[in-house]
Each structure stands twice: as structure tokens, then as C-alpha cells.
A and B are shown apart, each in its own frame.
Chain A
Amino acid sequence: MNKASINSAIDIIPYDRPRSIYEIQSEAINTLLNEAGISLKDVDGLATNGVERFSTVGMSEYLGISPRWTESSFLGGSSYLTFIKRAIDAVESGYCNIAVVSYGSNQRSAKSRSLGGVLENHTPQNFFEYSQGVLSPLSLYALVAQRGFYEWDINSQDLAEVAVNSRKWAQLNKKAYHYSSGELKVQDVLDSGLISSPLHKLDCCLVTDGGGAVLITNDKIADKLNLPKIKTTGFGQRDTHISYSQMPNYLITGAKASSEEALKQSGMRLSDIDVLQVYDSFTITVLSTLASIGLAEPKKIIEMFQEGEFYKGGRYPLNTSGGGLSYCHPGMLGLLLVIEAVNQLSGKLKDRQVNGASTAFVHGTGGVFSTHASMILERIS
């Protein structure tokens, strides 16, 4: 069997002019391949979604390629962690040799995002839940936060610490939407206005354009081109529900099982991890995920935020790009979490580089805490 690895990763966050989804992806892919010394025509695997109904076909046509392997499942925010794992498996099995996982969204400039959510009339979630006036997914994350306050003895001030930490990281990332926005204080979050209590505007992720691409090849090609090799040594996936009434546990999510599986495969514990990239659609998403993966009790996690344990120099540098809360959130953040982890492990990040980072834990959350994918990445060379 071949051995496969992630070799490079790039994010494209356009601020100068609006671009189409095709342009964002082609810019990311072409930049990535140029730097690696690989020709576009040699790409024989592609994973993407959200482009159009025939996402991989349409994107391949735009690029002028005809891949032997494609993947396009829709799992929301965890999709791209799953795609990375599937691409690694495809290269290792010989279905393809050079795979690209790419994503792009122009939801901000195209004004395609609605607070009400994406309605599909035939679904149970539409019939029983959206019919009741929820902002989807916002209100459904808010319901977890409110229950969490009740069970965990925490409050809005505590939750705001997650957003404060993300802003600090964003100030070290020139591509971040909030790079020049200045410091964020807990009170700023509380003053930003309730949207669906207890979540305020600044408890919610950004709505931006953006995207990126990740290159996955077999190790023979990587060695020949002298590319770095980042290994996925563990992966776990759990999809628990899509209708909110069917969520099996509102406080401990599918992240528990997916992370346990990923850590077990890699033979690691959380204490072996150097850097964390955890989906932050909302502040509560981060707290719930960190609690579900067993990092600590929620109240203790809040203390760790207050003590700087998730910032530069802390024990668990978290969402070092600034995350969905302060860097970018182009509809789905999953691929950008992986890209940040890969670049941390490649030692490329200058101001926000975590010194000596060689292991990363990445977690994607999609839907309404519905889909979960956990991934352990390790730098080999």
C-alpha cells in the first residue's frame, strides 16, 4: 500500500474585489500547485462541495481536469475533515495519486446567507422546527448555551471569553477580518446586542467570503518534490441527528465519540497535542466541544481561557488564525481549520506560530451539533 500525507495548504480570503466560488477555488488550487511544482493536469483526485449541485464535476470542468476520484458528501462544517481523510485513503489505495481538497464561498459579497437558514420544505426539521420561528442554526446553538448556563453554572461573561481569545489571535493574522479591529473585551461582546438569547452578535461567527485548498499526495511524489509530510494519524466521525428534537444529548455531543476514536487511532492523549483547531461557529460551539472531548469541566475551561491557556504561550493554543469568530467564516470553516493546523505544523506562520508545534487536534462541527469529525495531524518531515 502507498503511504499518503498532506503536503501543503493555502487559504484565500479575498478583500479586494468579489470573486466567484470558481475563482476562489482555482486561485487556491493553482497557487498551491505552483508552489509544490505540480501541474494542474496531473491532479487526479478532487473533493469539494457547495459549488453547485454537481460540485466536483463543475469545479473539474472549470479547472479543465477529469479526476479519477472525487468526493462531495454534504456534512456542513465537518465535511472537509472527512474529505481530507477520504483523500488520504484514496491515495493510499491507489485510486488517485495527487488529490486536492478545495473550498470556496462568496456568501458575503453574494448576500446568499440568511438568518432564517436554508429551508427544505420536505424535511422534518422544516415541518416541526423552522415552523416555530427558530433562527437556524443560531437559535438552536442558543438553546444549548442556555441549558449549559443552567447545568454548568456559567454565564454570558464566561462564554464571551471564547470570542476575546479569538480576537487576540486574529490580531496576529493579516488575513483575518478583525486583524485591525483592536482588542475585544468581554463587555464588548455583551454590548453587541442579543440575537437569540443568550447569544449576542459577537458570540456568532463572521459571514465572509473565502476558501482554500489542501494538497494530498503519496509519499513517493512528496519525497521527489521535497514537500513536507503531515500525517493524519487519527480520524473519527459521528453524525448524530439533523432535527434538533432528535439530538441524543444536548451537552455532550458526538465530539466525544469522534475524538475518542481519533485519539485512540493515533495512540495519543489530549495532553500530547500542541495546537487545537476547533470549529467556532458560535462561542458555545467551542465550549461544548472542548467539554465533550474531555479537555476539562466547562467551568475549568472558562478559567483556562481567563488564564491565557488557549492563547500564544498557553498550554493549548486554540484557533490560532482567529477562527470563525474573528478571522473568516465563509459558510463552512472546516477546510480552513485543517489549513491552519497544517501551516502550524509546517512552521510557516510567523507572528502566530506555535513554537515547535508537531501535533494538532482538529475538530469540525456541522449542522446543529449534528456532524462531528475529529482529526489528529502530526508532522513527520
Chain B
Amino acid sequence: MELWEDWIQLVKKGKVSVQQCLDCQHKQFYPRDFCMVCLSNNLGFHITDGSGVIYSFTEVHRSPNPEIFTPPYFVGLVEIEKNIKIICNILITNGNPEIGKKIFFDKISDKGIIYYSD
């Protein structure tokens, strides 16, 4: 879907966004062709400040696709805006991720893996 590609293109420029309705200002994720509150089709992207809070995490020990993912690695459910969470990878300098910890957008890999780090 073109809207989803637009979202990824922004991430590749270092900008993590959520979709925002230009009429009622409602923020939503993932991008859709209409505002889920007022049904407007007049939507844009709101760029987040790049931070996120770890809501939960898991250390993956088996690869869903060995050509792309090399275990072990941390997958997180990260709140990037109020009530909006995304799935991404987490890099922690020392030790394990902690629920409630603030992390920041770091990079997106060639294979499309989005990393947040501390």
C-alpha cells in the first residue's frame, strides 16, 4: 500500500511518524485512507520526537527467516505516541530491555528492521 511505503520512506529519512487527520487532528497508526474518528480523507504524517517507551519486549531465540534475522535479538512493543505502539527491534548497551524505559529511534536496516536504542 502506497501510504505504508510513504511511512517507511520517512523512517529511512530518520523520521518516525504517525498519521494525523488534518481536519480533527486525531492521530492514528497504521496509516489508513480515512480518519478513524471523523472519516476525513484529509490526512498527513505527524513526525514524532523519535523517542519511545518500552511497553513490553521479548528475546527471540529462533529465526523466523534465517536470511534476514539472526537470533538472539530483542523485539519490542514500543509506545511512540500516546496510545500508539509499534513493533520494532531494541538495542540495549548493557543488559536487557526494561519495561517503562525510554528509548530512541536509532536506524532502519537495509532489510527494513527498525531499531530503537537507549
Contacts and interface: CB of A to CB of B under 8 A. Distances in A.
Contact of A146 (B30, B58, B114): B58
Given A146-B56, A244-B77, A127 B89 contact: no
Interface string B79-118: 0000011111100000000011000000000001110000
Interface string A113-150: 01111000010100111111111100100111011001
A244 B78 CA distance: 12
B99 A132 contact: no
Nearest to B100: A150
Contacts of B89: 132-133
Contacts of A18: none
Contacts of A186: none
B34 interface: no
Interface residues of A, number: 34
Interface residues of B, number: 31
Nearest to A199: B58
A187 interface: no
A193 interface: yes
A194 B64 contact: no
B45 interface: no
A196 B59 contact: yes
Interface in A64-114: 114
Interface in B38-62: 55-62
A243 B31 CA distance: 13
A177 to B, nearest CB: 21
Given A245-B29, A250-B55, A143 B77 contact: yes
A184 to B, nearest CB: 21
Interface string B1-28: 1001000000000000000000000000
A197 interface: yes
B64 A136 contact: yes
A132 B113 contact: yes
A133 B4 contact: no
A51 interface: no
A135 B85 CA distance: 18
Contacts of B75: 132-134, 139, 143, 196
20 contacts: A127-B1, A127-B30, A128-B30, A131-B113, A132-B75, A132-B114, A133-B69, A133-B75, A134-B75, A143-B56, A143-B57, A146-B56, A146-B57, A195-B61, A196-B60, A197-B58, A197-B61, A199-B58, A245-B86, A250-B55
A115 B61 contact: no
Contacts of A144: 56
A199 B88 CA distance: 19
A113 to B, nearest CB: 13
**Best-surrounded residue of A116, A133, A146 (most CB of chain B within 10 A):** A133
A131 B112 contact: yes
Interface of B: 1, 4, 29-30, 55-65, 68-69, 73, 75, 77, 84-89, 99-100, 112-114
Given A143-B58, A146-B56, A194-B59, A135 B87 contact: no
Interface of A: 114-117, 122, 124, 127-136, 139, 142-144, 146-147, 150, 193-199, 243-245, 250
Nearest first, the 6 closest Cβ-Cβ pairs linking A and B are A116-B64, A142-B58, A147-B56, A133-B69, A197-B59, A143-B56
Nearest to A130: B64
A196 B58 contact: yes
A117 B113 CA distance: 18
Nearest to A147: B56
B44 to A, nearest CB: 19
A291 B12 CA distance: 41
Contact of A134 (B1, B60, B84, B85): B60
Contacts of B68: 133
B60 to A, nearest CB: 5
Contacts of A196: 58-62, 75
B64 A133 contact: yes
A198 B88 CA distance: 18
Nearest to B112: A131
Contacts of A131: 112-113
Contact of B60 (A128, A139, A150): A139
